[in-house]
Each structure stands twice: as structure tokens, then as C-alpha cells.
Amino acid sequence: MNKRLNSKQRNYIIIGLCMILVIMGVGYAAFATQLKINGTANIDSNFSVKITNIQSTVQSGSATNAVEPSYTDTTATFKTNLVSPGDSMKYDITVSNEGSIDAVLESIEVNTGENDAITFETSGIENGDKLGASQTDILTVIVSYISSVTSQPENTNSTITVTLNYKQDDGTVVPPTPTGPTIGGQEVEVVTEGDGLYEDEYENGRYIYKGVNPNNYITFNNETWRIISVENDGTIKIMRNESIGNQIWDAGNSNAWETSDIKTYLNDTYLPTITTNQDKIVSHTWSIGKVTGGNSDLAGQIAAENGTQSQSVSIGMITASEYLRANTNTEECGNLSLNNTNRTTCKTTNWMYNIVPSDGYLWIISPDASWSIFVFNVYGRASTAGLVSNNNAYYSYGVSPAVYLTSDITLTGDGSQGNPYVITN
């Protein structure tokens, strides 16, 4: 007779990717870069559940195994070298139930470290999956060197832990894990139409709010802000829901962010005025690549913006592409050229437009690719409302600060205008 297990008995499978070491070469062209990834999977088993295989496959580029992956009943070990941006490696780890007691996955927990150069994806095993006697399942882990990286990241370490919590299958149906990320501990549904949180089609692992008035309101510094995105490093990017007033980008009429007056103002003068939850701000790099005016290639524009990263600071502003990506009407507003041609329509399907001063302009962080004196901004005046174009850096326009919040915050509320998210820790 098979021994029955009570509901408190568990089987844990832990997959860990530890200590990613980055040794950067000089210059993007050469990029003699090698990211070393060491991973170990462990099982502490009350069931007869074992790791029975591990297979690796090069997904792209010059990724290699530093040593051949190996496994025992309770561990799987692998070590990966990612040589250049765009490299990725996939690991398929087979989990087998070699006992006579059926199991079901009660919960799955994924925790990732913060590293601007590395992304991790897991798939194949989901909450509620059953693992019957003599059956197998596969956990897939993909590690990738982000293709847009052009310089040495400040953070050279990263970790990922995947915990699969099995229990005896008693016939209870376990609902599947909701798709999408958690924001401040709250599960948020990902949508494909209407107002809401979307998977960003241009940057893997990133989620963005789109539409006329999505539920992305958050109280920060006792003010109303809006959530722009949940980044692939887990941070939450937000912007103030109204301008803090007109400011000159740069009195010397230069569009270089690093030496600009607006950067100094935001991080030296404005930052101290954030007296509530300032400790939740994460110093971060900002995409400051140059944008070609009137272009019709949003993917190329995003690559150009992300191709140049600033020094790490606390406060910045949105990019030109972030403004465009907040629009649900991609057919008419899906790139800079379309937005400017159809601006009277596009401004009605983009929540960010409501932050633009109605009698003026709103600065964004993106410099012009053709002129060193021009910076992009969104027009709010009636005759050109909704236009995304450039003007001299010495002009004084409205500013909506943006910050990155740590992923460790806890939120209450539902993000609606009447019940905004509130930071409680």
C-alpha cells in the first residue's frame, strides 16, 4: 500500500542562477565580453520527484557552455558564457515523478536580481500543473545578454531563483497563475485591447500602461503620479501626473543630458522636495540616445534611444518612444510620423497627453539626432496639440519628473483614479 502524505508535506525544486560576472572589453565593435553564469538546481524531496535530465541549446549568437551541464537526483548544475550582446542560451531541466503518488504544483515563485545586461525567462511549468506518477515535466530557463547593451553595466551580479512547491494531488483544482507581473505585491492582468497594462512588444520582460485612462494612478510624495511601466529588472517607472512648472533644458542651448541644466535641477534642486517615500527611489540609468525627427520606424527609434545610457541618477524624464507606446491606437499613432500626422486623434488615446500643459509644451529626455541644440517635446497648444517635435534647449517648458521605484514596495489600492495605489512599506 502506498504511503499517503498529509497536506503539509511538500517537495521543493529550486533553480538558482548565481553570480553573473561581467568582464567587459574595450569598445562595442570588438566587444570581447564574457558573462559567466553559474546555475544550480536543488531538490529537497518528500515525494519521489527527481531531476532526470538537463539539455542546453544555443538560442542565438556565440553562447557556449563553459562546462557540460550535469545533474544528479537532487541537483542540476550548469555554467554559461555569453560572449556578445544578443547571445542567449536555453536550458531544459526535466523533472520526473518516479513515485506512485500523483503531485500537483501548488505555487511557483520567481525572484530575479537586477542587472541591466541580463534577462531571464522561465516557462514550461505553471501553477496548477499536475505531475502524475511516472510522468515528467520540463522547466525551461533562458538566459540572454540584452542586445542593446553598448557599454559595461554598473551592476555585474545577478541571481534568479525559481521555486516549485508541489503537494500531493487530492483532486483539488488549483487556478492558474495570472498572466503578467505583480506590482507592489498585487497581481495585475495583462490586456491586449482597451486601457490597461500591456506586454511591451519591443522590450522583452517589460510591461507598459496604454490607453486613455488606465488604472495606473499611484500616490507618491503625497501627490498623484502615474505608473509608466514595470521594467524587466523589476523596478517600477513612474511620472508625475502634472508639470512641476516651466524649466530651461539648458541655458547653453545644448541637448546633452549629462551636462544639462535640467538634469542638475531635477537631481539637485527638485529631489530634496520629495519628502515622502524618497527612499523608494532607485538610482537608475536613463535612455538618452538621439531620435531622428519624423521617423516611421519605432523599433529603430527605441534601439537608438536605448543605445546610449546615461550615468545613474535618481530623476529623469520619459523618452519620445515611451510617449508613443502609451497609445493604444497603434494603427494611426504607432510611430513618430503617424502620431504627428494624426495628432488630433492620437492625443485622445494616450493618457500621457493629459499631462502636457494645455497652453504650452512638455519636455522629454530625447535629444534630436540632427541638431545638437534641439530637444524633443510634446506640444499642448491648440494649433499643434499632440505633436512630438523638437525645439531649442534654451526654451522654458513644462517638466514632468520620472523616477524608478524599487520592486520591493508593497501597495494597496487598485490603481484607479478614485482608489490609487498607495505605498505602505
**pTM for this one?**
0.61
Phi, psi of 384 (to 5 degrees): -130, 20
Task: Please give the grid coordinates belonging to residue 278.
Answer: 524618497
Res 253: pLDDT:
98
Res 286: pLDDT:
97
CB 422 within 8 A of CB 412: yes
Site of grid cell 521555486:
163
Predicted confidence pLDDT, tens digits, the chain (425 residues):
444 434 444 444 444 443 333 333 332 333 334 454 455 555 544 556 677 888 889 888 888 887 787 777 656 666 777 777 888 888 888 888 887 778 787 777 766 666 777 777 888 888 778 888 888 998 888 888 887 777 766 665 566 666 667 677 766 554 444 456 889 988 898 999 999 999 999 998 999 999 999 999 999 999 999 999 999 889 999 999 999 999 999 999 999 999 999 999 999 999 999 999 999 999 999 999 999 999 999 999 999 999 999 999 999 999 999 999 999 999 999 999 999 999 999 999 999 999 999 989 999 999 999 999 999 999 999 999 999 999 999 999 999 999 999 999 999 999 999 999 999 98
The total number of residues written for the chain in this structure: 425
CB 77 within 8 A of CB 39: yes
CA terminus-to-terminus distance, the chain: 50
Res 21: pLDDT:
37
Res 47: pLDDT:
56
CB 63 within 8 A of CB 80: yes
Res 28: pLDDT:
30
Q: Where are the beta strands (DSSP E) in 368-419?
A: 374-379, 388-392, 396-398, 402-405, 411-412
Res 162: pLDDT:
66
Helix (H) or strand (E) holding 336: helix 336-341
Res 153: pLDDT:
65
